[in-house]
Amino acid sequence: MKGGKAHQTCPFHNRRSVLTSLVITNDPVSNSLSVKGCFELQERCLQNPLENLELTYGNLLEEDVKCLSQFPSLGYLKHLNLSYVLLFRISLEPLGALLEKIAASLETLVLEGCQIHYSQLSAVLPGLSHCSQLTTFYFGRNCMSIDALKDLLRHTRGLSKLSLETYPAPEESLNSLVRVIWEIFTPLRAELMCTLREVRQPKRIFIGPTPCPSCG
C-alpha cells in the first residue's frame, strides 16, 4: 500500500500494514484538519514509521500541532508537507519541537502558504537549522520582514544539501494590495542573496512572489 488518505478519519484496516505515507486533507464543511484521531488509529495499525506526511489546506489547532511531535511513528519523517495549513494564529513551538525530532531524517519541508508571521519564526529556527539532510524547502507565501528573512537564511548555514528553496518577498516591498513594488523589491532581494552567500552557496533559489502557473 503506497499511501493513505484521511478526511477527518483514517480508513486504515485493523491489520498491520507497511504504510509509510499518510495524507490528511481538510474537511470541506468545517475547513479543519483532524489530526489526533488519525494518528492514534495509525499508531495501533502500523508497524513501520511514516516517511511522508501531508497535512494540506485547512486549519490546525495548537493541540493538533503538539500531537505531531508526540507520536513515535513520526520520528523518522523524510517528507513533511503543511502547505496552505494556516498557522498564523497558533504557537509554532510544537512545530519547532517536531523539526528537532526529525532533523536527522527530514529531506523535504513544505511550509508554503501557511501565512506564518515573522513574529512566530524564532520558534522554528533552531529545529530547522539542525535539518542537515534537507534538500527541498518551500517557504513562499508567508508574511516576512527583510530582517526576519535574513535571520532565516542565516539559520540555513548548516543545510549544505539544500538544492531547491523558495522564500516570499519581504513585506517592505509589498503595497497595500500585497503586490510587489519592484523598484523596492529588487535591491532587497540582492541584500538577501548577499546574506545567504555569506553563510553558504545556494543552488536553486527563488525569492519573491509566487510565479503564475501559466506563464511563470
What percentage of the chain exceeds 90 in pLDDT? 60
Contact 56, 26 (CB under 8 A): yes
Q: What is the pLDDT of residue 170?
A: 97
The CA distance from 96 to 117, in Å, is 15
The mean pLDDT of 17-28, rounded to a whole number, is 52
Q: Cell 523524510 maps to which residue? A: 78
66 vs 129: which has the higher pLDDT? 129
Average pLDDT in the chain: 82
CA 27 to chain centre: 20
Q: CB neighbours (10 Å) of residue 56? A: 17
Span 205-214, pLDDT tens digits = 999 986 655 5
Q: What is the pLDDT of residue 3?
A: 37
Average pLDDT over residues 118-144: 97
Q: What is the pTM of this model?
A: 0.82
In the chain, % of residues over pLDDT 70: 75
Would you give the distance in Å from CA 64 to the centre of its chain?
15
pLDDT grade for 142, boundaries at 50, 70 and 90: very high
Tens digit of each residue's pLDDT (9 = 90 or more) over 102-121: 999 999 999 999 999 999 99
pLDDT confidence of residue 90 = 92
How many CB atoms lie under 10 A from the CB of residue 60?
A: 25
Q: Is the pLDDT of residue 42 over 60?
A: no
| Domains of the chain and any CATH numbers | 32-208 (3.80.10.10)
